[in-house]
Amino acid sequence: MKLVYPAVFTPYEDESGGYAVEFPDLTGCVTGGDSMAEAVFMAEDAASGWVLTELEDGNKAPEATAINEVATEEGQFVSLIALDMDAYAAKYGSNAVKKTLTIPAWLNTFVEQNGISCSKVLQDALSKMAQVR
């Protein structure tokens, strides 16, 4: 699942070149970095972790506010942060749910003969379906 959220960047007051970053759509999701590159990297990581926690708790990912609707104060700016939730969940996700499925015997024979992982096929298909919605 790919998601994009607007993030508000606020330069540090000490003129060190760093930024604080907050997400209007992800309550309490705040991070920062000592450079623009670090702030963007940290923003992607923080937002991905926030959304993954929501998904693992059975909630939906929040809808993103349109970038032109995000209010800022003087000195702040808004940028979009892209999240690859499939990659993040594969690396950091902790919750797994066991599901039992039934397939025809002939298909099971095919699966076994070809070394196919039904779990992997099902995860890939469901992830693809989640992206479409």
pLDDT digits (tens, 9 = 90+) for 34-54: 999 999 999 999 999 999 999
Does the pLDDT value for residue 110 go beyond 80? Answer: yes
Residue 38's domain is classified under what CATH number?
3.30.160.250
State if pTM tops 0.75. Answer: no
Residue 61: give the domain boundaries.
2-95
70 and 17 co-located in one domain = yes
CA dihedral 93, 97, 103, 105 (to 10 degrees): 90
pLDDT digits (tens, 9 = 90+) for 115-125: 999 888 988 89
15 and 62 co-located in one domain = yes
Contacts of 116 (CB under 8 A, 6+ apart): 110
50 and 71 co-located in one domain = yes
69 and 103 co-located in one domain = no
Q: Are 20 and 9 in contact (CB under 8 A)?
A: yes
36 and 90 co-located in one domain = yes
Confidence of residue 90 (pLDDT cuts 50, 70, 90): confident
Res 132: pLDDT: 61
| Total domains present in the chain | 2
Closest CA to 76 of 24, 29, 27: 24
